[in-house]
Amino acid sequence: MQDWLDKFMVGKKKYSASVVLPIIIAVINVIVANPETAQNLTGLVQEFVPTLIAFFGGIAYTIIEGLRDRELAKGKTTLGSTEALSAVVPPSAVSAVSQLQPSAQAAPAAPPAVPVVEAPPEPLDIKAFHERVLADVESRYKETNPATIFYEACDKGSKTKCEHISHAQDYYDYLVSLAYAAEAYVKEQTQQETAAAGGCKGLVDPEYAKMLQDLNTTIRNRDYVYALARTNIDWKTALDINATLYNVGVWAQHLITTSYDIK
């Protein structure tokens, strides 16, 4: 209410100064200076021409000042609203809101991803595996010798799941050593039997020929297992339930020649 009264008084003062006062002055001049002319309507109009000019000039002045006051009032209103908001909202709240706004600066680059290095697998427990072979060779072959041990190791390997390619490498290193021992044993037995028969058993003993072939096959399979380890071939998926220690070597050549995935 007080603001409205103030605005009214300001407008009233300006209106009085620009409109009412010139009219009063003009009327007084006419009456005092020319009392005869005041009685004449035509003369009165002529005398009021300067007054009318002053009157319309006052109106123009009033309009211009009114527009100027309006702009000043807007500025005061905005300033008053800002000050009122500052009085109501504490600075801590304003600071909190500004912190929630996204920063114009670019976010710092994320650190490079550290590659996950898998721990090397535990090596195949050859000692425990060999103990299992020795425990069953007698009941299966009725005797224990390097040849029967070799064949029992082949059988055990075909039934033991291969968890890692390095386990197949360890197994075939072990199996090749057994194959050499078995070949030497069979060769010696063949020579003894040939000598006992007076050297008439034949040029090549079938049992020894088979053992020699098995030795060469085992060596070849071991070499392909090592070649398979240098590839990215998913041999586990390819072999599925047949992914055993022995079968990895049996199928290694086929996997390599059909996949062509050598590192």
What pLDDT, in 10s, does the model give residues 177-198?
999 999 999 999 988 887 877 7
Question: Which pLDDT score, from 0 to 100, does residue 154 have?
Answer: 98
> Within a domain: residue 120?
no
Cα–Cα distance measured from residue 2 to residue 8, given in angstroms and rounded to the nearest whole number: 10
Considering the domain architecture, whether residues 70 and 146 belong to the same structural domain is answered as no
The parent domain of residue 58 ranges over 2-95
Environment class of 236 (CB within 10 Å of its CB; exposed 0-12, middle 13-18, buried 19+): middle
Range from 16-20, 145-149, 202-206 that averages highest in pLDDT: 145-149
| One domain, residues 175 and 62 | no
pLDDT band at 158 (very low <50, low <70, confident <90, very high): very high
Question: CB of 184 within 8 A of CB of 146?
Answer: yes
Same domain? For 130 and 87 the reply is: no
Domain final residue pick, 45, 74, 95:
95
Q: Are 179 and 153 in contact (CB under 8 A)?
A: no
What integer best gives the mean pLDDT of the chain? Answer: 75
d(CA 231, CA 233): 5
Asked which of 75, 95, 115 is the last residue of a domain, the reply is 95
What is the pLDDT confidence band of residue 71, given thresholds at 50, 70 and 90? low
Structural domain total, the chain: 2
Q: Are residues 7 and 75 in the same domain?
A: yes
Query: Residue ranges of the alpha helices (H) in the chain?
Result: 2-15, 21-33, 35-39, 41-88, 91-100, 126-141, 146-158, 165-196, 206-229, 235-239, 245-259
- Asked whether residue 152 falls in the same domain as residue 250, the answer is yes
| Same domain (yes/no): 130, 248 | yes
Please give the radius of gyration of the chain, using alpha carbons only, rounded to the nearest integer: 58
Among 13-27, 105-119, 136-150, the range scoring the smallest mean pLDDT is: 13-27
Would you say residue 148 lies in a domain?
yes
85 and 140: one domain?
no
pTM: 0.55
250 and 197, same domain (yes or no): yes
- Which among 46, 76, 95 is the end of a domain? 95
Domain shared by 146 and 70, yes or no: no
Report if residue 118 sits inside a domain. Answer: no
| Position 110 in a domain | no
Q: Tell me how far apart the alpha carbons of residues 244 and 159 are, in angstroms, rounded to a whole number.
A: 6
In a domain, 82, yes or no: yes
Mean pLDDT score, 237-257: 95
Is residue 8 situated within a structural domain?
A: yes
Q: What is the pLDDT of residues 91-115, one digit of tens each?
A: 554 454 455 455 555 566 666 665 5
% of the chain exceeding 90 in pLDDT: 44
Cα(164)–Cα(243) distance, integer angstroms: 10
pLDDT bucket at 167, cuts 50 / 70 / 90: very high
Question: Are residue 152 and residue 252 in the same domain, yes or no?
Answer: yes
What residues have CB less than 8 Å from 89, skipping those under 6 apart? none
- Answer yes or no: do 134 and 214 share one domain: yes
Assess if residue 188 is contained within a domain.
yes
Residue 215 has pLDDT above 90, yes or no: yes
